[in-house]
């Protein structure tokens, strides 16, 4: 393919493409650069890092509550409890986003049920499909983590020593 010659029309099109591409310099202002840096962030459901401080606090509160409730005895158990907390947090976020999605659609199509809005509103339908997929992913993660925690505890009760995390609480 590299040795193949392009037709004059293709060469002209490639030259126009290169010239057009050379014009694009990206955002110039600080506000434009800040906005551009968040282009890929559409909903944050799969984000590894939460940017909103309130969301981080909510997640940390969820982790703390589950640690207190499930009392992990080993580092691996603690990691599974954190994964369980993250999965529950994502499930709750999906539910909130779903409600927001239907509320927005209802404003665009007043007087219609959620199902009718879903039928008429392509944007709502697309978001709903995405939210359903993420909800399924979060539930699968939740159940995998719960099973893994159960397996760890079963194995630990048979022959592994338990770690007392109270020694490390002041460091965390």
161 has pLDDT over 60:
no
Q: Phi, psi at residue 167, to the nearest 5°?
A: -65, -25
142 has pLDDT over 90:
yes
In eight-state DSSP terms, residue 168 is T
Quick one: pLDDT band at residue 48, thresholds 50, 70, 90? low
pLDDT at residue 61 in the model: 94
User: Is residue 87 exposed (0-12), middle (13-18) or buried (19+ Cβ within 10 Å)?
Assistant: buried
Query: If you write DSSP's letter for every residue of 60-127 in order, what string do you get?
Result: HHHHHHHHHHH---SHHHHHHHHHHHHHHHHHHHHHHHHHHHHHHHHHHSTT--HHHHHHH-HHHHHH
pLDDT at residue 98 in the model: 87
Mean pLDDT of all residues in the chain?
81
pLDDT at residue 172 in the model: 47
Residues 73-97: what's their mean pLDDT? 92
pLDDT at residue 60 in the model: 93
Q: Which of 11-15, 83-87, 139-143, 154-158 has the lowest mean pLDDT?
A: 154-158
Residues 92-102: what's their mean pLDDT? 87
Cα(107)–Cα(100) distance, rounded to whole angstroms? 11
Answering whether pTM is above 0.85, one says no
């Amino acid at each position: 393919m590299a040795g193949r010659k392009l037709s004059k029309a293709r060469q002209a099109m490639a030259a126009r493409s290169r010239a057009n591409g050379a014009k694009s310099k990206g955002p110039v202002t600080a506000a434009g650069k800040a906005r551009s840096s968040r282009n890929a962030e559409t909903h944050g459901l799969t984000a590894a890092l939460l940017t909103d401080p309130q969301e981080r606090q909510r997640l940390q509160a969820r982790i703390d509550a589950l640690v207190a409730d499930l009392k992990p005895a080993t580092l691996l158990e603690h990691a599974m409890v954190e994964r369980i907390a993250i999965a529950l947090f994502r499930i709750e976020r999906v539910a909130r986003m779903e409600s927001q999605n239907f509320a927005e659609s209802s404003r665009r199509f007043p007087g219609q049920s959620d199902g009718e809005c879903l039928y008429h509103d392509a944007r709502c339908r697309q978001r709903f499909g995405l939210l359903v997929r993420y909800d399924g992913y979060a539930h699968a993660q939740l159940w995998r983590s719960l099973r893994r925690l159960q397996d760890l505890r079963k194995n630990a009760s048979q022959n592994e020593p338990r770690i007392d995390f109270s020694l490390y609480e002041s460091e965390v």
